[in-house]
Amino acid sequence: MPRCQECYSENSRITPLLKPRGCLQNHTQYICGTCGRCICIEHDPVRNLQRWNFPFKSAEIAALYLRTADYTSKKPCGIYELKSGTGRASYKIFEDAESLRLYLQKNRDKTCKRMVPVYTAEPYREYPHTRIRKLTAGEVEHYMAERKE
């Protein structure tokens, strides 16, 4: 399958990656208006975080959540490669280089060698059929069945 121009994924049912049923049942989803992929966009008001704010193991996995970052920020965000003190790489999405700098100031054990994104999707666009909502019980079953195909 070609890469979806709206949500940047080749696999329209790959997400949610972890505990998919629980995520689909309980969390607000970004429902891609182009390919139908559901991306968790649930906002945790206590920690003021969404799924895309967390570090990812690879740039490819981060790219699965990039659309929710772009949509939330209303601009093209970037995936940046970070290194821990032990040299372990992780990938994190930031709105811009300034928010990366603020993060690095607060997390002194992390470094970013190239202060440019390894991936970004420009320009930012909106799509007419995007929906932000929780799925109905029937939609969850339908989506889960499609994941197995």
Beta bridge partners of residue 110, listed in sequence order: none
Measured from the CB atom, is 13 or 81 closer to Zn ion? 13
Query: CB of 31: closest distance to Zn ion in angstroms?
Result: 9
Measured from the CB atom, is 8 or 103 closer to Zn ion? 8
CA-angle at 66, arms to 19 and 16, nearest 5°: 15
Query: CB of 37: closest distance to Zn ion in angstroms?
Result: 5
Measured from the CB atom, is 42 or 95 closer to Zn ion? 42
CA-angle at 34, arms to 7 and 120, nearest 5°: 20
Measured from the CB atom, is 20 or 78 closer to Zn ion? 20
Q: Which residues neighbour 126 within 8 Å (Cβ) at sequence distance 6 or greater?
A: none
Query: CB of 16: closest distance to Zn ion in angstroms?
Result: 6
Query: CB of 75: closest distance to Zn ion in angstroms?
Result: 19
Q: Which residues neighbour 112 within 8 Å (Cβ) at sequence distance 6 or greater?
A: 80, 81, 82, 83, 100, 104
Residue 46, token pair as written in the block: 């206590």
Residue 96, token pair as written in the block: 């811009």
Measured from the CB atom, is 27 or 92 closer to Zn ion? 27
Q: Does residue 112 contact residue 80 with C-beta atoms inside 8 Å?
A: yes
Query: CB of 98: closest distance to Zn ion in angstroms?
Result: 27
Residues forming contacts to Zn ion in the complex (CB under 5 A) are 4, 6-7, 23, 27, 32, 34-35, 37, 40, 42
